[in-house]
Chains A and B, each alone.
Chain A
């Protein structure tokens, strides 16, 4: 039972361990903060499972994720006899493309995410 939805924290009621989140439809919903309260603050992207915040998405960890992907690409290219640097560049370009879309979405450009679909 791992089904969870990403949501943005709108408000926090620390005393009752409650938070109000938006799962993308604009309706604030009360959820229980299941994890340490200090891990959750307004504006955070969290995973909500059956009305419980089970984790905060650590977007800094995405850099680590990309590094791992690059390492993987390098190893694969070496094994396949390809140019490892080219493989690494491919991964970088792929993520840069997504980050560019993310930046435009943050700046309020509507529907920009659809470019990826």
Chain B
């Protein structure tokens, strides 16, 4: 029963091929109008700032449904990809010292740059006998840690979406005294602005002309968080959902805004996102965390792009409890393996296929760089579902493409 209810909600936005066909026509119409005003060769780059959007785009072959003057570029949307190697090395060290480490499944396999006692990842530490446990949430970890009472740490990676969970856990004292939180939370808007700046600096290339903003991050921070993009860069922003029709609608809306010169932030994901976001979640995050400059793997420090526990909540802080020194801008070193272009992929400067390691040394089974690990990493998505070729064939079969 419940499964059916959930499926219906998904179906409305997914298995609706007539709407898909309409949206595609609409996208082509507007791209023709734009072609006439910008010129035949002008490439309209639209950036998605969310690994899940990239997943939808590749999994459902959306790149085969857009005209050749529209390019979809993956942006910094995967927290696992941007967590500095230093923190992974520290958690491996803790694990090998006998601390129980709770982690999400994708971080479990995330390779660190330098091995710690022979272990490159938490998975390898577990193989060496360390107690590393996969948790799907902090509550799950809290329930488990309470049972055994041993010193434990929760590797708290994520974006704004996980932060209210950590904040509530701290505010409501849900964590047992033996479980500490290592806050590695990153904020998306600063990274989005940073990446747009970087891409603007790149000469002889087309700038990003539109942004598909992350839907679930926006449930917390609200559509309003993206207004600086409209104000500072003058390009459309659409907060979109994650079904293929949601993404197509976002592309159509971006092209419409460009064609009509009507630039603004639009929420397409109205069933989940409000303009103000969730005020209570924002306030609980502010109460528990402070905004700090934060290191992004392979990229460096981005100002005001991370969350650290406030001193008031230091009793939950893994850095303090285990005496781990936090990374500083002076100590941060480039932390990607040789040849890996994950940082450029993350910033939308390169495609996964531009990387010399992609599907050679670096595969989903044996990831070399962090972008090949998580389900949301652009390289992992491209490796699993392929590029345009196959999806064009399928789209032809369905009568979506001639």
Contacts and interface: CB of A to CB of B under 8 A. Distances in A.
Contacts of B216: 2-4, 47, 49, 54-55
Contact of B137 (A6, A52, A58): A52
B12 A54 contact: no
Contacts of B273: 55
Interface in A1-28: 1-4, 6-8, 15-18, 22-26
A45 B9 contact: yes
Contacts of A94: 16, 18-19
B79 A34 contact: no
Given A4-B216, A25-B3, A79-B29, A55 B22 contact: no
B196 to A, nearest CB: 19
B29 A113 contact: no
A35 B249 CA distance: 27
Interface string A34-73: 1111010000010101111011111101101100110011
A42 B6 CA distance: 15
A91 B17 CA distance: 11
A116 B18 CA distance: 13
Nearest to B215: A2
B53 A98 contact: no
A59 B168 contact: no
Contacts of B3: 24-25
Interface string B14-25: 011011001101
Interface residues of B, number: 69
Given A1-B77, A52-B161, A76-B25, A32 B219 contact: no
Given A6-B6, A55-B219, A79-B29, A113 B104 contact: no
Interface string B159-174: 1011011011101101
Contacts of B217: 1-2
B242 to A, nearest CB: 7
Nearest to B158: A1
Interface in B258-317: 270-273, 278-281, 284
Interface residues of A, number: 66
A2 B169 contact: no
Contact of A47 (B11, B16, B53, B219): B219
A45 to B, nearest CB: 6
Contact of A54 (B19, B164, B271): B164
Contact of B252 (A47, A72, A110): A72
A17 B78 CA distance: 27
Interface stretch (B109-117, B138-146, B323-331, B387-395): B138-146
A95 B220 CA distance: 29
B22 A2 contact: no
A1 B29 contact: no
Given A2-B216, A98-B12, A31 B139 contact: yes
B50 A50 contact: no
A30 to B, nearest CB: 5
B13 to A, nearest CB: 8
5 closest cross-chain pairs (CB), A and B: A51-B137, A34-B164, A52-B165, A55-B219, A36-B280
Interface of B: 1-12, 15-16, 18-19, 22-23, 25-26, 29, 50-53, 55, 77-80, 104, 136-140, 143, 158-159, 161-162, 164-165, 167-169, 171-172, 174, 214-217, 219-220, 242, 249, 252, 270-273, 278-281, 284, 375-376
24 contacts: A2-B50, A2-B376, A3-B55, A3-B216, A4-B161, A4-B216, A22-B2, A30-B139, A31-B139, A35-B164, A35-B278, A36-B279, A37-B280, A45-B5, A45-B6, A50-B162, A51-B165, A54-B219, A62-B271, A80-B29, A91-B19, A102-B12, A111-B4, A116-B11
